[in-house]
Chain A
Amino acid sequence: MTPPPLLEVRGLEVEFVGAGTVTAAVRGLDYTLDGGETLAVLGESGSGKTVAALAVAGILESPPARVVAGEVLLGGTDLLAMAPARRRAEVQGERVGMVFQDALAALNPAYPVGMQIAEGYRLRRGVSRAQARRRAIELMDRVRIPAAASRVDDYPHQFSGGMRQRIVIAMACALDPEILIADEPTTALDVTVQAEIIDLLHEIQADSGMGMILISHDLGVVARIADRVAVMYAGRVVETGPIEAVYGHPAHPYTEALLAAVPRADVRLERLRALPGAPPSLTSPIPGCAFADRCSHVRPSCRAAVPPLAGVGGAGTAQASACFFAEEVLARV
């Protein structure tokens, strides 16, 4: 029997309650993450990938957000059932760290970076300010900030964008969490810096053996370091599996369309192939497959029932797709 995964999300549903409307941003999300593994969560804007991550990290703003159903099991304990105070003290920062998209906004302009990196460490471990400062320098070294010892008292505005993101990563890793959630960590950076940050995340993860959830809409960034992919659409996972399998042989029409939309250097195209239409409105229930309206292979049965996430490609592969005709899609390529 295989050991239970480090993190398991089961049937997670998150709603946003507005004036007279209820938006179901996450509608039944399942995924697992093992230690030392990188899971990439892919999806377009509004697919619920960030909301799901915030729910796992325990920092959903509620109200307006509301977790309706589901479990987030970390080492067998359901985080959603935990008392908020206990969860803050024992899980957040300690076992789950978070890296944000906009590093400038994620740092407090009024404090030197060293203080911010080690603040959690100092309070949780009860160490002195001098020890915390040493820890901050150590962490800054680890995220490859040159001359860390002389920059520990600098303020966030004195760093470049890439360096700031490194500081945010150092902050998230200060307590050696078991899981690192990186929410679009490279979106605000230019391409060369993106690669550096992604490599750094990969390296830190390999060193520490933590599990990483990498949220992105950039298929290329993900391809560099992810072990497994979960493709989200309209608040659900529509396809998951090892990255080679999903990228090589997509088993869901949405994944297929996403991959087809990526421009390739070796193929000369007259124009970019875009996916027509827009994601469905999340304010009303979707009776069938959420992708049906944009799918080029839609059939009447697609609108009748929600297709479950089921294994494809025979036994032994870890690939799963939420399409009634997954085997057909798989065979198309």
Chain B
Amino acid sequence: MTVVGSLRRAGAPHALRLLRGDRFAFAAAVVLTVVVLGSVVGTPLLRTAAVTVDLSRRNLPPFEGEHGALFVLGADALGRSVLARIVVGGTTTLSIAVTAMLVAVVVGGLLGLVMGTSRGWVDLLGMRVTDMMLSFPTLLLAVVLIYLFQPSFLILVGVLAVTRIPAYARVARAEALDVSARDFVLGARALGAGRPRILFRHVTPVVAPTLLTLGAVDLAYVILLESSLSFLGQGVQPPGMSWGLLVAEGRNYLLTAWWLSLFPGLAITVTTISLNLLSGWLRMILDPRQRWRVENSRTTRRLRRAQDGGAR
């Protein structure tokens, strides 16, 4: 794929330098790295601590210090470490959201590309179906679907993906319609390219950055959606944990133990904001016509000068 290809050509160090050039995107990338690394590394370490009950630490306030680093964010109503529960819950939330987003991008994108390039009854049918799905409030649709099936990881991913697929399908279709009417598609046909080749090698690379950007923005939305579902008791079920569920569990103690809801809520906020910032940067980097904006930013230029100077 070009998207990957163009970054590969630009070289990993170059991409990193471009990231340094945008302060907000860089900060967002750091935050997300911490979140992802924390989940991957921290979950196996903290899985036991997250479920260890100790009633002597009931609703322990945060930043006390005397109970060790594990309890820096306090403890919940059963004396379990809030920090450990946020880390483990984050893994659940992120894996559900990322999987759902990827499924939605791939399935929705493919549907849209096929609809946009085939026209006729395929297009018509697809559009009406997406219309129908989009006319349901997302959360209601998700709640109804989950009510029909038992909540589990796969069902949650499936439900979240299904509610997002129409959006990707419509965006991909609109872009594919525009792109496939351009002369370079005609040119590819003049050179003898077949339908699959045109679809995947000529139309998809132009549409992909849009979908990926939408995906990155949407990831934040899917995280919120998962959290909302869990908050409503329709998502992840105890004893499992997710950010939304942690917020929901803390609701009963809002006046006495604010930290139970605040910290998981902060985790959601910080992660979604970072995703939004990074997706904007990603869109610029993936579009060859926009990349210069980042390449020519003042910070990038300063970094380049510093590096050249250091090399000399």
- Tell me which residues from 166 to 225 in chain B have a Cβ below 8 Å from any Cβ of chain A: 182-184, 186-187, 189-194, 202, 205-206, 209
**A-side interface mostly:** loop
A220 to B146, CA, bound (A): 71
B9 at the interface (CB under 8 A from A): yes
Is there contact, CB below 8 Å, between A120 and B186?
A: no
Chain A residue at minimum C-beta to C-beta distance from B190: A98
Task: Give the Cβ gap from A321 to chain B, nearest Cβ, in Å.
Answer: 32
Contact A93 B192 (CB under 8 A): yes
Q: How many residues of B contact A (CB 8 A)?
A: 20
Q: Is B299 an interface residue (CB 8 A)?
A: no
Q: Is A302 interfacial (CB-CB < 8 Å)?
A: no
Measured between beta carbons, the chain A residues less than 8 angstroms from B191 are 92-93, 97-98, 119-120, 171, 175
- State the Cβ distance, A118 to closest chain B Cβ, in Å: 11
Bound form: Cα–Cα A7–B107 in Å: 46
A119: B residues at CB distance < 8 A:
191
Are A91 and B184 touching (Cβ within 8 A)? no
Contact residues in B for A157 (Cβ distance below 8 Å): 288-289
B2 interface hit (Cβ, 8 Å): yes
Question: Is A4's beta carbon under 8 Å from chain B?
Answer: no
Stretch at the interface among A75-83, A102-110, A193-201, A273-281: A102-110
A1 within 8 A of B: no
Q: Which residue of A lies closest to B186 (CB)?
A: A59
Q: Contacts A153-B9, A155-B289 hold; do A110 and B189 have CB atoms under 8 A apart?
A: no
Q: Which of A94, A107, A110, A168 contacts B192 (CB 8 A)?
A: A94
Measured between alpha carbons, how far is A53 from B116 in the docked complex, in Å?
Answer: 26
Q: What is the CB-to-nearest-CB distance from B159 to chain A, in angstroms, rounded to a whole number?
A: 33
Min distance, Cβ A51 to any Cβ of chain B, angstroms: 13
Contact yes or no, A106 B184, CB < 8 A: yes
A58 at the interface (CB under 8 A from B): yes
Interface size class of A (residues with CB under 8 A): 35 or more
Residues in B whose Cβ lies below 8 Å from that of A112: 9
Choose from A89, A124, A155, A171 the contact partner of B187 (Cβ within 8 Å): A171
CB-based contact A102/B189 at 8 Å: no
Interface of B, secondary structure class, is helix
Output the nearest chain B residue to A106 by Cβ-Cβ distance.
B183
Contacts of A105 in B (CB 8 A): 182-184
Contact mask for chain A residues 94-129; partner B; CB cutoff 8 A; 1 contact, 0 none = 101110111001111111100010011000100000
The A-contacting residues of B in range 259-291, CB under 8 angstroms, are 288-289
Known contacts A153-B9, A157-B288: A109-B206 contact under CB 8 Å:
yes
Give the distance in Å from the alpha carbon of A194 to the alpha carbon of B26 in the complex: 47
Q: B184 near A107 (CB under 8 angstroms)?
A: yes
Residues of A within 8 A of B192 (CB): 88-89, 91-94, 120, 124
Is A139 close to B, CB under 8 A? no
What is the bound-complex CA distance between A171 and B2, given in angstroms?
A: 19
Q: Is residue A85 contacting chain B, with contact meaning CB distance below 8 A?
A: yes
Residues of B within 8 A of A89 (CB): 192
Complex contact B288–A109 (CB within 8 A): yes
Which single member of B186, B190, B194, B289 contacts A109 (CB below 8 Å)? B289
Q: Smallest distance from the beta carbon of B127 to chain A beta carbons, Å?
A: 19
B200 to chain A, nearest CB (A): 12
- Residue interface bits A133-150, CB-to-B below 8 A is 1, else 0: 000000000000000000
Say yes or no: is A33 at the interface (Cβ < 8 Å to chain B).
Answer: no
A89 nearest in chain B by CB position? B192
Chain A 166-200, CB-CB to B under 8 Å as 1, else 0, gives 00100110010000000000000000000000000
Q: Closest A residue to B207 by CB, please name it.
A: A110
**Contact mask A216-260 → B, CB, 8 Å, 1/0?**
000000000000000000000000000000000000000000000
20 A-B pairs in the complex with CB atoms less than 8 angstroms apart: A58-B189, A58-B190, A59-B190, A85-B194, A88-B192, A92-B190, A92-B191, A92-B192, A94-B192, A101-B183, A102-B183, A105-B182, A106-B187, A108-B206, A110-B2, A110-B6, A111-B205, A112-B9, A120-B192, A172-B190
Would you list the 6 A-B pairs with minimal beta carbon distance, nearest first?
A93-B191, A92-B192, A98-B190, A105-B183, A106-B183, A88-B192
Q: A108-B184, A109-B288 are in contact. List 10 more A-B contacts (CB 8 A).
A: A59-B186, A92-B189, A92-B190, A102-B183, A107-B184, A109-B289, A120-B192, A155-B288, A157-B288, A157-B289
